[in-house]
Amino acid sequence: MNFDGHHIAITGASSGIGLVTAQLLADRGAAVTLIARRADMLQQAASDIGGKTAWAAADVGVREELDAALDSAVAQNGPITGLFANAGLTGGFTPLLAYPGDLWEDTLRVNLTSVFWAIQKVAPAMVDAKKGSILVTGSMASKRGMAMNPAYVASKHGLLGLCRAVAMELAPHAVRCNCVIPGFIETEALARIPAEQRGKIEGRVPQRRMGSSEELAEVAAFLLSDAASHVTAQDWAVDGGTLQTLEV
């Protein structure tokens, strides 16, 4: 997985999976552009990664900001050969009948609509070049129902459908689109979970442990790389076996 000559734009890149993946790609030769809301975190992350790493602050849920960030990415690092659409909201846990309408709209806009916007923005250049890779971050909620969070589940189901539709339409142009599905991955959010709850979560994973952002990043890097040139329209879980087992 040599990324020399590749430029990967990553949303949700200031921390967690996005940041770890950016570091891995840069280590393997990619020019990387980090996109997230907080300029201070992006600037520090870009400095830490070094190399051909650029950044652009944007709220992906605002189309004008997202478009400007992607334009900035091209201006700084040249044509985008890979997009990792990783930004997302958790949606918040609220009973269905009391679920706020504005939270529904915000979650769908960030988790699903913004990815559609980003793909529309970067795909024409990929089609012209007859080469490109798009990766979206789904969720186990892309494949399963979950109570108390209808917006998140709907957005992540929709994201997987969008991925498959994009893959089908762009395949004749040698542009691929895949969906990586994190299981229970060690992130800042999971680190705040009480020990007792962590034990219950780990007990649901056949491997009896949570995954790491580094493990997820390795799969993301593969799917973005030329090594996966015949892989498209796929959902790839990094979940220790959780989705494909009967354990509950």
Q: Which residues are catalytic?
A: 152
Read out DSSP for 44-85?
A: HHHHHH-SSEEEEE--TTSHHHHHHHHHHHHHHH-S--EEEE
Sheet with 82-85: strands ordered across: 53-57, 31-36, 7-11, 82-85, 132-137, 175-182, 235-238
157 vs 89, 103, 112, 125, 216, CA distance in Å? 14, 17, 9, 27, 20
Q: Which two tokens stand for residue 131?
A: 């080469």
Calpha distance 55→59 (Å, rounded)? 13
45 vs 37, 40, 169, CA distance in Å? 13, 9, 35
Write the CB contacts of 59 (distance below 8 Å, at least 6 apart in sequence): 37, 65, 66
Calpha distance 17→242 (Å, rounded)? 19
Calpha distance 189→180 (Å, rounded)? 19
CB 208 within 8 A of CB 202: yes
Q: Which two tokens stand for residue 29?
A: 């030769």
